[in-house]
Structure 1
Amino acid sequence: FLDFYSNPLQDEGLDSDDDCSSVSSYGSDFSARRGYGSNALALTGRTGSLLSVYSEAGDFGSVTVQGAVEFSLRYRNAEELIVTVEQCQDLAYANPRKQRTDPYVKTYLHPDKSRHSKKKTSIKKCTINPVFGGETLKMTMDDLKGRTLNLSVWHNDSRGRNVFLGQVDIDLKTWDWGHETLTWYNLQPKVNRIYLLDIVPPLFAGGARLNSGEVHVWLKEARELCKLKPQGVDSFVKCYMLPDTSKKSRQKTRVVKKSQKPVYNHAMVYDGFRAGEVREACCELTVWDHNKLSNQFLGGVRLSLGTGQSYGKNVDWMESVNEEIQLWEMMLSSPDAWVEGEIPLLKASQL
């Protein structure tokens, strides 16, 4: 994951099996049209440091996600979210050799990853079709705007080497609260994601209109990066503000060594934006594994309006889709407000 903050002038008008092939780091880093599926965009106020939702005493092993989970949601008295977990079916074997899985269900309310947000069911022994019988997980929360319910299924290991079996994300911003019946949901694998925080500065200073604005990018952290070496990933993030691909536009974070969950905490500034110009720009963020001979591409996103044009000319890099466009639009339309979004990284295999 990555977090970043941005201040443009207001407009007036990777799972461990990712295909991480080597890619040149010259100029703008990827340009093919993307086709990954839509994921929920969570937009909230500013939050503190985000801890990994997968830090259940570590995530060990690697299984192919399969199966489904049945649960329901209810919001009671505008203060308590109740998740009723009924059962799961056809889960993967966490230990294929022993044909064994000891599953349980865990919930978080993104972007809150604290223990206050985490709830868990009981553990069912030796079954890939566990029945929880309507166990309820209750979370006290007086404001669900912009929150995403993350419900994940895990295999419990007596040595703490728990194995991820699948997850479901529910965007509570668009949830139909009249729907309280038990419903089946297919389990989904993890995806590399990016957390993004944008701030739009005031358009007026001392009563006068500003002539230009700045884009401030704070790259905070990444998570679940593709593990290319036994000791971990030596990663850094590169940023361009397209259409400028010059060395002046290219900015980088430091290299964080031996981590699939690196924390960068690196600020970048792009200035000189006049009113309306941010609509013509594209913020390209790419994540790389650092090597002495050739850096390897791990994933990236492009944030723009996705119009295919910049300043009236057709360009192949103005290709943002889904949440990338939604976040850029939210940033442009939300002056003086913190905006947070969650976006999956584009995999190298999708280039």
Structure 2
Amino acid sequence: MTDTMFGSENEHWVCPNDRQLALRAKLRTGWSIHTFQSERQRKAQTLEKRELDLIMSVIHRAEQHEIIEQHRIGRLVERLENMRRSAVGNGLSQCLLCGEVFGLLSSSSVLCLDCCMKVCTKCGIETAGSQKRAQWLCKICSEQREVQYHMVSGGAKYGLNSLLIVVAYVLWSALEMNCFVDVFYVCFLAATLGTLDFSLLYDQENNALHCTINKAKGLKPMDHNGLSDPYVKLHLLPGASKANKLRTKTLRNTLNPVWSETLTYYGITDEDMVRKTLRISVCDEDKFRHNEFIGETRIPLKKLKPNQTKNFSNCLEKHYIHPFLYNDKSLEERGRIMISLKYSSQKCGLVVGIIRCAHLAAMDANGFSDPYVKTYLKPDENKKSKHKTAVKKKTLNPEFNEEFFYEIKYADLSKKTLEVTVWDYDIGKSNDFIGGVSLGINANGERLKHWFDCLKNKDKKIERWHTLTNELPGSGYND
């Protein structure tokens, strides 16, 4: 659309075009405009050196505040994640943080107001409620509240005001010179952390989520040389822990890294795809200090369609901590196990396959476990049906690929229950129970369906993923 001019030769009144009308509508500055200037007049209205210096000083101040705030928030979040990783108890019979067992002769327990887990008084912080009653928070939840408070107040206190000044000044200058400026583009330039290209594929048949990290562009420099050493790490929320953390390799001295790596989560169910969110974080690796957070993006898995690859090119954002993504469910999850069942007509027995585990709970101080699996076919009064796999050292995602055989008549199989437990092997003390699952006529949901599918399909191997529960089965399981 062209502008229509009215008035004398020196003063031209012009009907604004659609682009100008759209900009003025966003800025709520009215509908009239006094414009049309020659190229010479436009050049005469360029910004003076003093004005340019003012803009540059504001931008520099905003960047400095942003860096300070980024480091501060990063340290708080890093400390919170370290506390979560170092938690060794189950929050029921043990202190969630230090693992001390509760009892008459040991420490008393208090219940955390936020996560509803039990901690000892040394690992809890007493607060006053609205009715002046004593309320307790575990140190993790107390630290989480602190991080949330600083993240909400930090943006308004530091970088945000300066950025608004820059954006307002640039827009005002553009209006004075009758230039069209995209408001969102200016804001993006003032606060960008970079973009990340990646793709996601949910393989429904194999219960796997494939995450291909392609490349990033325009990352924020974090090192003194104006570059970064970026890598990408993935977490599934809720339930973020070392068990479900995946990461790419680190690329040195670049702001435009190309990874082209595929990271895979196994044991992902349709329920997970509805309930969980994938957090993708870009960080800068530092050999001598803590790694620095650059930015993140989050994808609710319900956006994906089974067996269809979806490509993303997302702008990175700052840390965002939502209480619903760090609730007590993250502490209840014990991991997953993949089991195969087959009744062999030729051998007249049940073949149980222990294939692999995923996202197991960490039981050792180093943030890992030394897991192995035990199986029983019950009822078994003499405990002769016990089988166990080899121990896999220092892993939360072990692969076993072992099979056990139980000689049993097909008619008797419907009366039996297969109990599978996962343990952490310890030297010199009792092994720690990680989680268990029972398959049989008294089970329900996927566990019952798996058992019936085995009974209905002789000589056919049926594989299923099952969620481990934190309830220890019968007394025969004490290890």
Task: Name the TM-score, length of structure 2 as normaliser.
Answer: 0.36
Q: Which has the higher contact order (CA 8 A, sep 6+)?
A: 1
Greater CA radius of gyration, 1 or 2?
Answer: 2
Task: Determine which structure has the larger helix proportion and give its number.
Answer: 2
Task: Determine which structure has the larger strand proportion and give its number.
Answer: 1
Task: Name the TM-score, length of structure 1 as normaliser.
Answer: 0.48
